Structure 1
Amino acid sequence: MDDRQRYDRATAHLDPPFALLDLAALRSNASEMARRAGGKPIRVASKSVRSRAVLERILAMNGFAGIMAFTLPEALWLVGRGLRDVLVAYPTVDRAALAELAADPRAAEEITVMIDSTEQLDLVEAAVSPVNNRHEIRICLDIDAGFVALGGRFRVGARRSPVREPGQAADLASAIVKRPGFRLVGMMAYEAQIAGVGDNPRGNPALTGAIRWIQARSQRELVVRRGRIVQAVTQITDLEFVNGGGTGSIEKTARERVVTEIAAGSGFFHPRLFDFYRGFTGRPAALFALPVVRRPAPGVVTVLGGGYHASGPPGRDRLPQPYLPCGLRYAPDEGAGEVQTPLIGQAAEDLRPGDRVWFRHAKAGELCERFAALHLVDGDEVVETVPTYRGEGRTFL
């Protein structure tokens, strides 16, 4: 029985649109990620999962510890429901959430917030200062991991922190440890240009060569610079963790002596953008089904919905991929529509109204912003249906 038959059989009682998570594929992907980490723990990036029940399943597997959240309200919600060790990966200016953090002893013990400037530190201090008997705030220092060349005229990588050099990191670390009520416990540097950019794109040898050259140069530069930054900061205070990497760079980042844990999330679902790496091959685990509602012409079918574009630079690679049955593609003059999406190709000849077309999202967790539930499939049956963040009434962004 092929995957399409399994999914159709398992979900025959459901009316699409709906989302599915293949548990065998999830387990396989998680096992491979843990193997690539070489014994270092992987902190699970919640933005790529966005289902509390699925986060709990992953954290119960060997090799995974802690969560990397994307907002402080999300972190407070997760800790309030029993999850532990949550690092908020981005700075927060949510004053109400900061005050709640400072007032709650368990939240203050389990949550670490991100800082990359004294301005942010000032804002946090102003937000928590009115709290009576406030608890110590755990701080992580965010470091820029982008690759810069030609005297700064060439740059690749996410534009995150203004802190780039050992001296800058040491100055900010000193400012943190001097402030009462704050404790510097960690450091993070996310090498997006390596972890989030596939090094095996199809059909463009020149681009492939350029990506591999830049990534190799960037990795060599970052190994040295990150090591020097950690050395500079640990002369000021001990760190509980040094976080780095992402799904696309797990094995590379894990080899760095100073890195104590890896962050990863997309690899669990293995969305379309992660098909283009040499170092690993995952199994598509998260899919969504749309129903065929029309046959407007020979070789054309129309499905309901489908305009679930992924974030990032606009382009066709941000569209969901018509996955099963094989041989479907978007009509070039329409693309993925808000309410309906025409699909063309030989496979359309065999589809009728009521049939399903299975899609893969370009990115991972953004799929869960569209659906209230994930139907967990093992083999050829739905074994459980669990809510996404949206299904629990939580939209953090």
Structure 2
Amino acid sequence: MTQQANLDTATKGLDPPFAVVDLDAFDANAADLVRRAGGRPIRVASKSVRCLHLIERVLGMPGFQGVMAYSLREALWLAGKWRDTPLAQTDILVAYPTTDHAALRELAADPAAAQVISIMADSVQHLDLIDAALGIDHPAIRVCLEFDAAWRPLPGIYVGTRRSPVRTPRQAARLAAETTRRPGFSLVGVMSYEGQIAGLGDAPPGNPLKGGLIAWMQRRSGPELIKRRSSAIAAIRAITDLEFVNGGGTGSLELTSADPSVTELAAGSGLIGPWLFDSYRGFTPRPAALFALPVVRRPAPNIATLFAGGYVASGTGTPNRLPRPYLPEGLKLLGTEGAGEVQTPVVGKAADSLKLGDRVWLRHSKAGELAERFQEYHLIRGDRTERTVPTYRGEGVNFG
């Protein structure tokens, strides 16, 4: 059977819109991430999954260890879900700083959660905020410092994500010394995310010149980062011991695993295989998460209009944030409408064969954000559905 026939057979009792996760593709993607990590453990980036069952599935696989949460409230929720289970000691790193005073108070009041959750800081002001929220005599809070991984080849040129202001080994050592000096804080780790490599494909379709420029940038950015990050970690380790040094993302596992200062990697999007990750030379994730929309109109030859579909990804607001038709092959979005809240026209020769009620399968541009659109994922294998599980939205929680 073709892939589309398998998908349609596995979900024949469902009325679209709905979303599925192909377990064969998901598991194959997980195995490929482990292969690319070269023996370093991978911390699961929950932002790219947002489904408790799938996060737990990955944590049960060899090569994965710990979770990178995107919100302190999410970390508290996960720790509570896993209490009194075999996952109770799962290390949870909150990848972004928090200003949520209520969540900080909840963390400080929960000794079990405080033992497994680490929060992010990249300035003394973050420490001051925590002291203000909890009082200066608060219980020990586990802290991870974020180190800037962006590339700055010349003054005024910044290539990468705008994250931490801590860029030099001296700045890192200064913040580490201040963190360890202050009561109520335990410095346990360092994180740096090389977004200009991990999140930027070097083979954009139809644009070889852009791909060449990206590859050129990445070849120069990587060695500079390894040298600078290694020096920073050495400076911090001269002040205090560290439990972990986290780096990388799905697109940079090979580079980051070559950095001797890094003890673990992070990845999440590579499990799902959204279409933005088709544009890397070095690896090709299988499309694991798909969603189906029904044909509700045939306004003209070679055009079929689907119900809903405006699942636009966060980021630059450019066309590469739109979902893409996947099956049947030969469809694309109508440029004058794109993907809409209530309707999404698709065009192409394949549209002529579509009838009212037929399904069109699409892929999201990014990974975890699809879970914000659906309450459940139908987990399929081949031509059958194995089970249906809730997404974060289906669990009744929202952390973004």
**TM-score interval, normalised by the smaller of the two chains:** over 0.9
Q: Distance in 2 between matches of 1:245 and 1:130?
A: 34
Contact 1:138 1:184 in 2 (8 A): yes
Q: Residues 335-350 of structure 1 correspond to what in structure 2 (within 5 A)?
A: 335-350=338-353
Q: State the TM-score, normalizing by the size of structure 2.
A: 0.97
Contact 1:138 1:183 in 2 (8 A): yes
1:135 and 2:139 matched: yes
Q: Distance in 2 between matches of 1:184 and 1:114?
A: 10
Q: Distance in 1 between matches of 2:324 and 2:52?
A: 26
Q: Residues 17-96 of structure 1 correspond to what in structure 2 (within 5 A)?
A: 17-82=17-82, 83=87, 84-96=90-102
Residue 7 of structure 1: aligned partner: 7
Residue 145 of structure 1: aligned partner: 149
Q: Residues 322-337 of structure 1 correspond to what in structure 2 (within 5 A)?
A: 322-337=325-340
Residue 105 of structure 1: aligned partner: 111
Q: Distance in 1 between matches of 2:390 and 2:206?
A: 39
Q: State the TM-score, normalizing by the size of structure 1.
A: 0.98
Q: Residues 176-255 of structure 1 correspond to what in structure 2 (within 5 A)?
A: 176-255=179-258
Q: Distance in 2 between matches of 1:338 and 1:203?
A: 28
SS at 1:149's partner residue? coil
Deviation at 1:157, TM superposition (A): 0.3
Which residue of 387, 390, 394 maps to 2:390? Answer: 387
Equivalent pairs counted in the alignment come to 394
SS at 1:198's partner residue? coil
Contact 1:309 1:319 in 2 (8 A): yes
**Amino acid paired to 1:139:** V
**Amino acid paired to 1:17:** P
Deviation at 1:136, TM superposition (A): 1.2
Residue 164 of structure 1: aligned partner: 167
SS at 1:391's partner residue? coil
Deviation at 1:130, TM superposition (A): 7.9
SS at 1:390's partner residue? coil
Deviation at 1:205, TM superposition (A): 2.4
Deviation at 1:314, TM superposition (A): 1.5
Contact 1:72 1:92 in 2 (8 A): yes
Q: Distance in 1 between matches of 2:136 and 2:308?
A: 48
Deviates more, 1:115-124 or 1:203-212: 203-212
Contact 1:104 1:135 in 2 (8 A): no
Q: Distance in 2 between matches of 1:395 and 1:351?
A: 36
Deviation at 1:3, TM superposition (A): 1.0
Q: Distance in 2 between matches of 1:61 and 1:127?
A: 38
Unmatched tracts of structure 1, length 5 or more: none
Per-residue CA shift, 1:317-367, capped at 9, x if unaligned? Answer: 111010000001111211111101111100001110111000000000000
SS at 2:201's partner residue? coil
Q: Distance in 1 between matches of 2:168 and 2:48?
A: 29
Unmatched tracts of structure 2, length 5 or more: none
Contact 1:241 1:261 in 2 (8 A): yes
1:354 and 2:360 matched: no
Regions of 4+ moved over 4 Å: none
